[in-house]
Every structure is written in structure tokens, then in C-alpha cells.
């Protein structure tokens, strides 16, 4: 068993396991196969860049979870999970990317060895890391089992953060503040974009006096000008120019816990329609934040934001926020709650979100976003950055 990271105790992992088993019981599941690396880490502590091959955490009716994966990655599991060494089980390397056999054949064997061949088994069907071939292999090698879609079961258990998790996110907020501050210091007309992004990445890893920086689940998004009319473009080598906006969607990360935040930089004199859009976004953001408190719903925040934005002459047809926390590529969102019409999830203290009131205009984009924590009495913005378009 490794030396545990001090802010997550074995007791916290055991409590997470108890919550998972209660959710399994409510769904009448005997076993749960967890392939989302965020959920694997939350339940066991496992942390490694091995999600490009098949791996899982297996939770059964009793006992501690089992880590299952490629044998060489089992060495990383021995270094990071809280379970005893005999709970780390590796499969032969001949199963890796071999069209003649599939690693999930060995996972089926593992379940059969433990008497689960005709049990109800939950799988994360709608998950980046669980393939159609993996599901087919389980169906073929566990013909009497009932494979049940349990997508999101563990994700939802992660919604309310523990004090130790919130501490990581606060430290991540300090890192994203440092990243945006460095952008404002360094950006200037003529500076090649990739030079600026290299500096952003440097600051993100160096971190702050409170924490070193982990890698983000999403690379820096930093489009300028007409590229900024789209939400998810990255960077190139073109020089920054006067008269263009650039939004920077970034995240500070501390031991896989993300604090994303966006700010927009305008080089030169900001035109009137950008100023009007900024004013609308800021006023709508305040309206949304007023609804961000326990007992309110995700929909309440979205409705307040959109009503204000519409009144001021703008529209946003996508969600304006989502749950955040522990994340691995390709997404730092938790894939549960969203700030949009129809999401009646009731807000609780300890929930964390990226409030994302971005607008993409005909000639650029404005992103002024906030990572927020629902508190006992209202909401806390985790970052202290000024909420405005940065003009330089």
C-alpha cells in the first residue's frame, strides 16, 4: 500500500466506496465495472496516463475494489491505490491492441472466478473509455450475466465535494489566476501565439507557492479574431494583432482537480458592440449568481442568466455552466449537471461548477467565466480575478 497523499485518507476512500455500494443496491447491481479514469481515481486513488489501453476498477458485493488493467500499469496502481497489493490484477501484454483477442475477456474471467457469472453487472456504456468491442467481449464471455447501463452512477456521487477536494480546487484556482495574470503581462501585438501558450503552460506546471500544477484535461483554448467566433479552437503561430479579441479558456489543476476559468483580452481600443456584449454578459452573470444557493436549481441559474441576456439584446443557445472537479482527458467536466433549461437538479453545499456565460459574436468571442462553489448560504467564486474584458 503506498504512502497516501495526506489530504485524502483511507477513511475518505472507504466512505466513497460505501456511497457507491448504496447506489449499486438502489439499482439492484451486484457488480460495477468502472472505466472512467476520473471515477477510478475517485474510488481508489489510481493515477496514471494509461487510459489509452483498457483498464477498470471492479466493485463487487463485498470487500475492497479491485484494480484491473495492463500488467505494466499495475506497477503504477501499486504506487497510487489505497487497496492492498493483491487487489491489483494485471492482464498479459499480448492482449494490448490485438485484433485476435480482447482484454475484457480476462475481466470476464475475473468476475467468473468470484462467482459473478450470472449476476447483474453495471457498465458505463456512454463513456469515452468503454468501447463497443469491450462490451461485446463481456457479452460473449459472460452470457448469463445481466449487463446494465450504469453510466454516470459514480459521477453523480462525486457531485458534493469533501473539504479535502475543495482545498485542491482552491489551490487550482490560484494557479489559473497566475496563468491569466501572466497573459496580461506578456501579450502584445506581434507576439506569436504559440510563444504565449508556451508561457501559459510553463506557469500552469510551476504553479504557486501553495501547489505545483498538474496537467489539464483540456489543452489551452486561445483563439483570436474570427477564430474566436468558435468555442473550441486551440492556438497557432500567428502573431497577435491590434483590433482583435482573444479568449483564453484555461484550467489550474492540482492532483487532477480542475479549476477552469476564461478571460478575454482585447488588444487596442475595444469597439462599441464588444463593450455592449461585455456589459450584457456581466449583468447576466450577476443575475445567475444571485440564484446560486442551496435549494435553488441548475435551471434557476440558467433562466436568470438567459432572461437578463435576452433583455439586453443577446442570446446564448448553449448551456451556461456545468459541474467540475476531478478530471482526465478529454474533459474536465463531470458530465452530470448543467446550467440550462430543464435541469432541475437542486443545488447543495459543496457542489462546484464552471459558470460559463460565454458569447460568440460574428467577429470574435467573449468569455468571462467563473469557477464557483455552492456554500451553506450562497455562492463563492473560487478565483479573485477581475470580472471584465482585459484591454491592453
Minimal CA–CA distance to 250: which of 207, 200, 304, 205?
Answer: 200
Minimal CA–CA distance to 116: which of 91, 92, 143?
Answer: 143
Fold of 10-157: Creatine Amidinohydrolase; Chain A, domain 1 (3.40.350)
Query: CATH 3.90.230.10 region(s) of the chain?
Result: 163-391
Query: What pLDDT shows up at residue 360?
Result: 86
Query: What pLDDT shows up at residue 3?
Result: 59
Minimal CA–CA distance to 251: which of 331, 159, 194?
Answer: 331
What CATH code is assigned to 163-391? 3.90.230.10
Could you give the 3-state DSSP secondary structure of residue 67? strand
- Partnered with residue 331 across adjacent β-strands are 328
Query: What pLDDT shows up at residue 1?
Result: 53
β-bridge pairing 146-149 and 120-123: parallel
Put residue 179 in one of left, alpha, beta given phi > 0 → left and psi -120 to 50 → alpha: alpha
Query: What pLDDT shows up at residue 273?
Result: 93
How would you write the pLDDT of the chain (392 residues) with one tens digit per residue? 565 555 688 899 999 999 999 999 999 999 999 999 999 999 999 999 999 999 999 999 999 999 999 999 999 999 999 999 999 999 999 999 999 999 999 999 999 999 999 999 999 999 999 999 999 999 999 999 999 999 999 999 999 999 999 999 999 999 999 999 999 999 999 999 999 999 999 999 999 999 999 999 999 999 999 999 999 999 999 999 999 999 999 999 999 999 999 999 999 999 999 999 999 999 999 999 999 999 999 999 999 999 999 999 999 889 999 999 999 999 999 999 999 999 999 999 999 999 999 898 888 889 999 999 999 999 999 999 999 999 99
Query: What pLDDT shows up at residue 352?
Result: 98
Dihedrals phi, psi of 370, to nearest 5 degrees: -135, 130
Entry pTM: 0.96
Query: What pLDDT shows up at residue 293?
Result: 98
Could you give the 3-state DSSP secondary structure of residue 320? coil
C-alpha distances in Å from residue 54, one per residue of 171, 235, 290: 32, 31, 44
Put residue 68 in one of left, alpha, beta given phi > 0 → left and psi -120 to 50 → alpha: beta
Q: How many CA atoms lie within 13 A of 305 on its CB side?
A: 29
Query: CATH 3.40.350.10 region(s) of the chain?
Result: 10-157
Query: What pLDDT shows up at residue 317?
Result: 87
Cβ atoms of 352 and 166 closer than 8 Å: yes
C-alpha distances in Å from residue 384, one per residue of 122, 175, 259: 42, 11, 12
Amino acid at each position: 500500500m503506498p504512502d497516501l497523499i495526506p489530504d485524502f485518507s483511507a477513511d475518505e476512500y472507504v466512505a466513497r466506496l460505501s456511497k457507491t455500494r448504496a447506489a449499486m443496491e438502489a439499482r439492484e447491481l451486484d457488480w460495477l465495472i468502472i472505466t472512467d479514469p476520473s471515477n477510478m481515481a475517485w474510488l481508489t486513488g489510481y493515477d496514471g496516463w494509461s487510459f489509452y489501453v483498457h483498464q477498470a476498477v471492479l466493485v463487487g458485493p463485498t470487500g475492497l475494489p479491485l484494480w484491473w488493467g495492463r500488467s505494466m500499469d499495475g506497477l503504477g496502481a501499486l504506487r497510487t491505490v489505497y487497496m492492498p497489493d493483491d487487489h491489483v490484477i494485471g492482464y498479459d501484454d499480448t492482449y494490448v491492441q490485438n485484433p485476435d483477442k480482447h482484454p475484457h475477456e480476462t475481466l470476464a474471467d475475473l468476475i467468473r472466478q468470484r462467482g459473478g457469472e450470472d449476476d447483474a453487472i453495471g457498465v458505463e456504456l456512454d463513456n469515452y473509455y468503454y468501447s463497443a468491442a469491450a462490451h461485446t467481449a463481456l457479452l460473449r464471455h459472460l452470457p448469463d450475466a445481466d449487463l446494465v447501463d450504469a453510466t454516470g452512477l459514480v459521477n453523480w456521487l462525486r457531485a458534493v465535494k469533501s473539504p479535502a477536494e475543495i482545498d485542491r480546487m482552491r489551490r487550482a484556482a490560484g494557479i489559473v489566476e497566475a496563468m491569466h495574470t501572466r497573459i496580461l503581462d506578456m501579450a502584445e501585438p506581434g507576439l506569436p501565439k504559440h510563444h504565449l501558450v508556451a508561457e501559459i503552460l510553463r506557469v500552469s506546471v510551476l504553479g504557486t507557492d501553495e501547489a505545483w500544477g498538474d496537467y489539464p484535461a483540456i489543452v489551452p483554448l486561445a483563439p483570436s479574431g474570427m477564430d474566436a467566433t468558435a468555442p473550441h479552437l486551440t492556438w497557432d503561430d500567428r502573431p497577435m494583432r491590434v483590433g482583435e479579441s482573444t479568449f483564453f479558456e484555461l484550467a489550474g489543476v492540482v492532483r487532477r482537480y480542475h479549476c477552469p476559468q476564461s478571460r478575454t483580452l482585447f488588444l487596442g481600443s475595444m469597439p462599441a458592440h464588444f463593450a455592449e456584449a461585455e456589459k450584457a454578459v456581466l449583468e447576466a452573470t450577476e443575475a445567475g449568481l444571485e440564484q446560486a444557493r442551496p435549494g435553488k436549481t441548475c435551471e434557476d441559474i440558467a433562466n436568470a442568466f438567459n432572461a437578463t441576456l435576452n433583455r439586453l439584446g443577446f442570446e446564448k443557445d448553449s448551456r451556461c455552466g456545468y459541474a467540475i472537479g476531478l478530471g482526465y482527458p478529454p474533459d474536465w467536466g463531470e458530465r452530470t449537471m448543467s446550467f440550462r433549461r430543464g435541469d432541475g437538479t437542486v443545488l447543495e453545499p459543496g457542489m462546484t461548477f464552471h459558470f460559463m456565460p460565454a458569447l460568440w459574436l460574428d467577429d470574435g468571442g467573449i468569455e468571462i467565466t467563473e469557477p464557483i462553489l455552492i456554500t451553506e448560504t450562497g455562492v463563492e467564486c473560487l478565483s479573485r480575478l477581475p470580472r471584465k474584458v482585459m484591454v491592453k
